[in-house]
Amino acid sequence: MYFPSTRLLNILDLLRSHGQLTARQLAQYLEVDARSVRRYMVMLEDMGMPVETVRGRHGGYRLRAGYRLPPVVFSDDEALTMVLGLLLAERLGVTSKEAGLDVALSKVARVAPAELRDQIHLVGQALTLRVPRAAVEVGGQHFLQLTLAAYRRQQIYLIYVDTAGAETARLVDPYGLVYTIGLWYLAGYCHLRQGLRSFRLDRIQQIETRDGAFQLPPDFDILAYVEESIARKPWGWSTRVQLYTTMAEAKAQVPPAMAILEENADGVLLRCEVDDLRQYALFLLGLPWEMKILAPVELQDAMADVAKRAIALATPN
């Protein structure tokens, strides 16, 4: 739905962008008839807006020479898109609600038509996003620096803190960013380690863009690489489970960042690094196929404990 004030703002924005437009052209852009356009132009003149009518065969409407409009004008759809983007950014940990979201929403509201202001404020209260909230926030400036460097194919110098708290200086070719399982990752070629690496954004302490350029490897699947690197990360237990199913069915049920799937003669071998065998046993019970636990023996014990509890709960007192 469009409000009259939105139409007026759109006319001003169109004239600023195109210089001069006829009533017919404006009508096509606004999806109204020429009579409505003329009525809107009268309203703008009554409001003191610097619109001029150019007479003659090549006439139309234009803004008075030298006049500059405020740089941002939103339609209702554009304002809604902006608000949804801001809410999603906060949900994904790119900006905090305290530091960025409320300020940005207030700025959008100030330039939006009066009829839209209440809607902008209400969207955040009425909307529920079924997106996993980021486990930690990442700095907006770091996020911007990394995305620009990846887009421009510029090398970066960064200080990275690993899980043990050790700092290292790295020269990296940034291939791109990935958000998965509640965390942001940078994937790229690390010149220190001489190979592909993934870095958690919240552990990057310092970033400097360098002049060195690089080429992105052809057919590089950044999401697949990051999820596989997460799945291969060592935890407390290295497990192997034989699944008697197809690779396609296994991929549909097992998150790629959780485990490594290897096709074999019996079906699919599931390799997973876990720190809680009981929780992993519960996950395995939720899979719909026959399976065999190959290693470790402790996973078999955890499965037996879970089975005993299930039987106890299912047995009437």
Q: Model confidence over 46-57: pLDDT tens digits?
A: 878 888 888 887
In this predicted model, what pLDDT tens digit does every residue of 102-113 receive, in sequence order?
Answer: 666 666 666 666
Tell me what pLDDT residue 100 has: 57
For residue 101, the 8-state DSSP code is I
- The number of beta carbons lying within 10 Å of the beta carbon of residue 165 is 7
Sign of CA dihedral 277, 136, 223, 254: positive
In this predicted model, what pLDDT tens digit does every residue of 143-169 receive, in sequence order?
Answer: 888 988 999 999 999 999 988 889 999
Between CA 2 and CA 102 the distance in angstroms is 25
What is the rounded average pLDDT of the residues 1-23?
76
Taking the whole predicted model, whether its pTM rises above 0.75 is answered as no
- Confidence category of residue 208, pLDDT binned at 50, 70, 90: very high
For residue 100, the 8-state DSSP code is I
- The number of beta carbons lying within 10 Å of the beta carbon of residue 34 is 14
